Chains A and B, each alone.
Chain A
Amino acid sequence: MLSSYVPVLVLFLLAAGLAALILGLAQIMGPRGLNAGAEDPYESGIVPTEPARKRFPVRFALVAMLFLVFDIEAVFFYPWAVVFKRLGVFGLVEMFLFIGILLVGYIYAYKKGALNWE
């Protein structure tokens, strides 16, 4: 039954081979020695305009996390809506419970000021 894994093995070998090929080519053909550009962080070939270690407000992270939570909620709504009729009252109650739990999180985030930008 292990034979069914042969494609996986082939893929693995291909990936390894490609990586080795690219690294090898870079080794052979790439320019030698260090210049100012080589020490800069790699930004798609564009000369960096400012240092990459920049601090940015933690609020971005907060918003991202809140977005994630409520986005996932929305993701759950779609399949639920599709089978809503077949689930009946049980489905309704379940979804309200789910929303209720999220609501607790929302109230928490709101009161903690996570949504205040200033």
Chain B
Amino acid sequence: MSTATQTKARRVGFFTWLGGATRGASITRLIASLSGLFILWEIAATYWVNNRLLLVPFSEVITTLGKEIESGDFGKHLATTGAELAIAFPIAVFGGIMIGAILAGSKPVRQTLDPILTALYSLPVVALAPLFTSALGFGIPSKVAIVILMAIFPVITNTDAGLRSADPALLETARSFQATKLQTLRTVTLPHSVPFLVSGVRTAFARALVGVIVAEFFGSISGFGFAIAAAAQSYQTARLLGYVLVLGAIGLLASVALTALERALAPWKED
């Protein structure tokens, strides 16, 4: 007779736990929301959308993706897109930090370059993709160039903003303790700009992912963008969605990794 109340009590306990801040709870929430999405997808594709050009069931997408992996096609595309990102992204981050630091350090340079940078940042760089393909060919170099152009600007802007926005009160405190310029940079300005940097890198990665796929659309011989374009042209919706699913997973993983990185680099900035 008391089993009913016991079960109830345990259920309440579970939901309280699920709403909590433990690692287990957040992983459970992530799995729950993803499986919810996939189940909804499966049901919608089976009973609601009859046009197989638009939507195929989740299970079929996974099967198709499995075949792609088995045939080695997936690995080939992953290697191409992965190489492009692995070359371009570090260059964009490192170069962005360097340029951002120069801008923050020199007002004349900043004032001179600012209009150009703002224009380039707001420009849809992917529109230039055909030009890069004509100039640099169908291979990796043209994609690397576009990814750098897409990803570098948020890093520049955020580095510049982070380095210039340190609390004047903290700078004055450092000065009252006779801090040298280098000490002030190390103890005040740099720690202050860490969260800015991480957020710049986060935006940069999202833009890099878009950049690499669109660049591959416009002329390539392999890569995820090539595979998606090829699948679209031959009406293989399951294959197309399979690669899109992988891109989503990469985006999610990168976001989780960057959040962890920010926690590690800026432990004072909880919640």
| Chain A bound to chain B | no
Residues of A within 8 A of B (CB): none
